[in-house]
Amino acid sequence: MHKQFLPFSLVFLLSFSLHAQKKPSTTPSDAGVSAVTVGRVVRALAADDMEGRATGKPSGDRAAQFLATEFKRIGLKTMPGLTSYEQTFPAYESSTTSFSVTLDNAPVAKDKALLISTQPRLNWTNTDVPAVRVLTIGAQDNPQQYLRDIVRPKENVLVLLDSAHTTIFKRLADRLSHSSLRAEEPSNNSFSSVVILTAGPVASKVPFKVAAINTVRTLTLRNVVGVLPGKDPVRKAEQVVFSAHYDHLGALPPVAGDSIANGADDDASGTTAVVALAEYFKKKNDNARTLIFVAFTAEEIGGFGSQYFSKQLDPVKIVAMFNIEMIGKLAQFGPNSAFITGFERSDFGTLLQANLKDTPFRFEPDPYPTQNLFYRSDNATLARLGVPAHSISTDQIPTDKLYHSVDDEVESLNLPNMTAVITAIARSATGIIAGQQTPTRIAPETPAKPKP
Ligand SMILES: [Zn+2]
């Protein structure tokens, strides 16, 4: 789970059934997923020698290799078009070598200006308007609606942000200090944002100068993907995705001599679920639809892994996505329960619950709607494309003191409950995997209305 930052426009719920729903055939009782696998995999991923599985670092690559070995042991196939379980793609990390700004012929202090750019060189002055757009966000304006375009600029923009919004400026600075990764190849044709915190109103035709030099490093990022092809000649064209992110934060400032953010719950727990589910379904070997198991990279720093993965598939063929995020601790509803984000946006949760009606397990709607969890994990990209893509979690996020701390360790997890959650996910998926249940699609996100 990554930190909440950007607001998103409302997604309007459009509920209709594409397929007649049939009840799944009753399956004989099974032993569930392997508790031994669950314990072994989560311990390996959250071990100190994985050094917090930071994206683009050797520790993150080691975690990917470990997962590829697990997929091979289980006997999954590789994705069509790939020769290994690793789905690699480039990302571009830029660091600013020099950056200076003047506004109204006076230099702007370093802590009052932010640069979001992968352009190797920037040289702007007020004579570049309108090729450089000047966006004034006054004390009375709401900056939230512009943040997404500032972080991922689609034009060159100089933002004059009134100091009434200092808190937002600081959050933006904080976010930029963590990562400056971009999915697009940098070039002088790409776009940049410069944000200046201004004390009070600024005249609209104020003279300005911006000069910056960026150095860009190309990183190779890797998702880990394994496939269990469908057994039904027709249904195998339809795909069900089980996913979680294996990356975490790497090192954090030390607390009591510990600087490793082990990320046992976030999200070694979900990644473990993906491995345990792959093993379980491979053993059952009766899936009509094709099952795709994926461990994403770079969730914590912007969701680059799931964004790349989503572009390699046809969303129309994906009937459901089970994204699993932080299932290592008890949910607020007690044992044998978990919640599903965006529960009301499709009938995915209702179908899952129907398959568990003879068990003590309950899936609940997300009890923390203000946390915007539906859009804070790797399900968001496919959900925006209409796929019933939901995250399953047990985390009591408003009160979770271990979240994004060096103390998110295996010792804080409830492994028997976690195994029960994974088994419940396996059983709740029965009808979808058999091709007997098809969740309703999610209404694609409506873009925010631009300000007149
Ligand atoms: Zn996280």
Residue 15: inside a domain, yes or no?
A: no
If asked whether residues 248 and 389 sit together in one domain, one would say yes
Residue 439: inside a domain, yes or no?
A: no
If asked whether residues 294 and 367 sit together in one domain, one would say yes
Residue with tokens 């419940």: 424
Written as six digits, the tokens of 187 are 């070039």
Residue 442: inside a domain, yes or no?
A: no
Query: What is the mean predicted confidence (pLDDT) over 247-254?
Result: 90
CA of 244 to the centre of ligand 1 (A): 11
Residue 5: inside a domain, yes or no?
A: no
If asked whether residues 277 and 339 sit together in one domain, one would say yes
Instruction: State which residues form the domain around 158.
Output: 93-216
**Residue ranges with CB less than 5 Å from ion ligand 1:** 1, 266, 300
> What one-letter code names the amino acid at 113?
A
- For residue 452, count CB atoms less than 10 angstroms from its CB and return exposed for 0-12, middle for 13-18, buried for 19 or more: exposed
Residue with tokens 């459901």: 320
Query: What is the mean predicted confidence (pLDDT) over 382-405?
Result: 94
94-140 confidence digits (pLDDT tens): 788 899 999 999 999 999 999 988 788 899 999 999 999 999 999 99
If asked whether residues 331 and 256 sit together in one domain, one would say yes
| Residue 357, domain CATH | 3.40.630.10
The answer to whether residues 243 and 391 touch, using CB atoms and an 8 Å cutoff, is no
CA of 243 to the centre of ligand 1 (A): 15
Report field, pTM of the whole predicted structure over 0.75: yes
What pLDDT, on a 0 to 100 scale, did the predictor assign at position 30? 77
Number of domains the chain contains: 2
If asked whether residues 208 and 146 sit together in one domain, one would say yes
If asked whether residues 427 and 370 sit together in one domain, one would say yes
CA of 266 to the centre of ligand 1 (A): 5
Residue 45: inside a domain, yes or no?
A: yes
Name which of 100, 252, 267, 94 is nearest 181 in CA terms. 94
Residue 181: inside a domain, yes or no?
A: yes
CA of 192 to the centre of ligand 1 (A): 27
If asked whether residues 313 and 258 sit together in one domain, one would say yes
If asked whether residues 257 and 286 sit together in one domain, one would say yes
What pLDDT, on a 0 to 100 scale, did the predictor assign at position 174? 83
If asked whether residues 210 and 241 sit together in one domain, one would say no
What pLDDT, on a 0 to 100 scale, did the predictor assign at position 451? 45
Q: Decide if pLDDT at 38 tops 90.
A: yes
What pLDDT, on a 0 to 100 scale, did the predictor assign at position 370? 86
CA of 353 to the centre of ligand 1 (A): 27
If asked whether residues 351 and 233 sit together in one domain, one would say yes
If asked whether residues 200 and 324 sit together in one domain, one would say no
The mean pLDDT of the chain is 89
Residue 149: inside a domain, yes or no?
A: yes
